[in-house]
Amino acid sequence: MLFDPRPKEKRSELYDRVEEIEKIMEYSRKYPFTILLGIRRVGKSSVLKVAMNEMQAAIYIDARRMHFESGGWITYESFVRSIEREVNALDSKVKRALRDVLGKVEGVSFAGVNIKFRKDVKVSDVFESLNEFDHTVIAVDEAQYFRFYGRQGGKEFLSLIAYAYDNLKNISFIFAGSEIGLLHDFLGVDNYSSPLYGRVYGEVTITPFKREVARNFLEAGFREANIEVNDKDVEKALDYLDGIPGWLVEFGYNYIITRDFEATISKVMQKAQEFIAGELRELQKRSNRYSLILKAIAMGFDRWENIKEFVEHNDRAVPNSRLSALLKTLEKMSWIRKDGERYRLIDPVVEKVIKERI
């Protein structure tokens, strides 16, 4: 179902992402690691899961889950448990084949059909055993959260990946993230101090639908549900939601239930407000000026000097270097982008919510 709000796992459930799926699969064979980028709600996780389900041995790890389960950190034990959980979720045929190679690893045992890792098992040993398999892909979703791993901002994790890059030719990695700049900074492929500095890698970006594709998506979803929708309502929905698949799915799913455009848009925007408000609260913990910058841009004060004037009018004087650093961080976190001399909010729903709430 196109309007199913859960992440998709099969091609038949996904719309218009054939090129991206094929590229992920190609790059997983071509490069030791691939970076998969896309802003929040663009459908990045769905595209990744569909691609991985078409690979023979693919292990999916959600760094957000480990971060949450470890209380705002990622521990070695949570990392081990995550690998164990995902190995046991593989197809039974693949899992039987992996048992043969994992059985050689100290700290690995078996409980019926399941594979068990002791908390002191060495992940490097697990990776070395997986290297004996034909080809294994390990994908880490929202990988920038691994900067909360270990004592050195994730350097231990990056060193493990660098070791695999150099020595384990049958393992490749996919690192996905919605905070695009933070993910690049964490991996550090351009940072001399990073273990991954200078490494060759692939890069795939999942972009929002163009308006025509977004319109076709909504129409296809409503046809699938045997519901006729007024063309004007579809166009109005696109005016609100643009081409962000996550918000379009929310609209379609709720419209099927209510058959009421205004009620549906209201519900989607309410959910968006709650979602975005939570992220804004996290931003404000770091600096209230982030919110002021976002509001300035949403209200049309989108040039550097206008943003500075708006922030200082509503707060206090801000040094030029500090304002530039704040703007750069918002770019890295995929809240904004710079087009020429102007700054833009990437997600139009974020823009509407900020205008109303901040």
User: Whole-angstrom Cα distance, residue 260 to residue 232?
Assistant: 13
CATH topology of domain 208-283: Helicase, Ruva Protein; domain 3 (1.10.8)
Indicate whether 104 pLDDT > 90: no
In 78-131 the beta strands, taken as DSSP E runs, fall at 108-111, 114-117
Yes or no: domain 287-358 corresponds to CATH 1.10.10.10: yes
Q: What is the pLDDT of residue 323?
A: 95
- 154 token code pair: 């994730």
Domain extents for the chain? 11-205, 208-283, 287-358
pLDDT higher at 172 or 134: 172
Q: Pairing relation of β-strands 108-111 and 114-117?
A: antiparallel
User: Whole-angstrom Cα distance, residue 184 to residue 352?
Assistant: 28
Q: What is the pLDDT of residue 188?
A: 92
- Please state, as a whole number, how many other Cβ atoms lie within 10 Å of the Cβ of residue 207: 12
Return the SS3 of 7.
Answer: coil
Q: What is the pLDDT of residue 181?
A: 82
pLDDT one-digit tens code per residue, 292-348: 999 999 999 999 999 999 999 999 999 999 999 999 989 888 889 999 999 999 888
pLDDT one-digit tens code per residue, 149-196: 988 889 999 999 999 999 999 999 999 998 878 898 899 998 999 999
Question: Which amino acid does the sequence have at 5?
Answer: P
Q: What is the pLDDT of residue 134?
A: 82
Q: Which CATH number fits domain 11-205: 3.90.380.10, 3.40.50.720, 3.40.50.300, 2.40.40.20?
A: 3.40.50.300
User: Whole-angstrom Cα distance, residue 111 to residue 65?
Assistant: 24
Return the SS3 of 336.
Answer: strand
Which whole number is the average pLDDT over 143-147? 94
User: Whole-angstrom Cα distance, residue 14 to residue 17?
Assistant: 7
User: Whole-angstrom Cα distance, residue 18 to residue 15?
Assistant: 8
- 114 token code pair: 């399941």
pLDDT band at 66 (very low <50, low <70, confident <90, very high): very high
**Residues across the chain:** 358
User: Nearest to residue 189, comparing CAs of 131, 143, 141?
Assistant: 143
Q: What is the pLDDT of residue 1?
A: 86
Q: What is the pLDDT of residue 358?
A: 65
pLDDT one-digit tens code per residue, 236-271: 999 999 899 999 999 999 999 999 999 999 999 888
Q: What percent of the chain has pLDDT over 70?
A: 99
Rounded to the nearest integer, the mean pLDDT of the chain is: 91
Q: What is the pLDDT of residue 137?
A: 96
Q: What is the pLDDT of residue 253?
A: 95
Q: What is the pLDDT of residue 193?
A: 93
- 119 token code pair: 């908390």
